[in-house]
Amino acid sequence: MNKTLLKIGGSILTNKTGADISSIKRIAKEITNKNKLVLVHGAGYCGHPEADRLLGKSEICDIYNTHRAVSKLNSIFLDFLSDEIPVVPIHPLNVVIANDGRITAFDINCIKNALENDILPVIHGDIVFDRVRKFCIVSGDQIISYLARRLDVDKVGLATDVDGVYLDGKVLEEITEKNISKVLNQDYHLGKTHDVTGGMLGKIKELWGLSVESVIFNGSTVGNINRFLSGEPVGGTIIKPSRIEDL
């Protein structure tokens, strides 16, 4: 059976004071269809400020401050998820190596073993060791892109705090080879004080080139995450498979 990849943006799990408990509770209750699901989440305000301060520094020991922030959010999320379904955390710091900011090694056996045992693996954006930079930030979006190319995936979703990808003031129904150049030339404002992972443009670049269809949709809309997992329409912007592998 093929697998579903879902990334929940940190923007809908956190607010300016930290973890958004009411939103986390609501999302946890929506994740009822966990069959062959791999769940990834961002850090939002629980990690981006620490990462922002860390970038450009050379003190290896500062890795812990960023990892602690993102893993704390992961623990809070899993606490609520575990009320509904069996879950296990997977921390990229322990299983990922990067090279100049891009993942080059990822032990995904832990993900496969969790799925084989009907356990939901929950991964998060994290700081990891990097062969060139000593360490770097690996976003949840990059993790989704990496896993989509290495797991038998038939559905990929990115739940964000907006309705999709905007072009000329309107939400695009789909991104294809016909409009990708125009989309990539847009000025997408990050909209957050702290975002070191590329914002909407970064998401589009990570999803473009996948061999499977993906969708960017509004996970802040009540019921949308459950609808996505159930195979129902969620609106948003569909990114069609492309022959182009790299941008």
Rounded (10°) CA dihedral 211, 215, 216, 217: -170
Residue with the two structure tokens 């940190």:
10
Q: Rounded to an integer, what is the distance from CA 192 to the centroid of its chain?
A: 16
82 labeled binding residue: no
**71 closest CA partner among 90, 56, 58, 96:** 90
8 labeled binding residue: yes
Question: What is the rounded distance in angstroms from the CA atom of residue 96 to the CA atom of residue 58?
Answer: 20
Using an 8 Å Cβ cutoff, are 13 and 96 in contact? no
161 labeled binding residue: yes
Question: What is the rounded distance in angstroms from the CA atom of residue 247 to the CA atom of residue 229?
Answer: 29
Locate 43 and state its tokens: 């850090």
10 labeled binding residue: yes
11 labeled binding residue: yes
Q: Rounded to an integer, what is the distance from CA 71 to the centroid of its chain?
A: 14
189 labeled binding residue: no
Locate 232 and state its tokens: 């129902």
Locate 174 and state its tokens: 């789909």
Binding residues: 7-11, 43-44, 48, 140, 161, 199, 203
Which residue ranges make up the annotated binding site for substrate? Answer: 43, 48, 140
Binding residues for ATP: 7-11, 44, 161, 199, 203
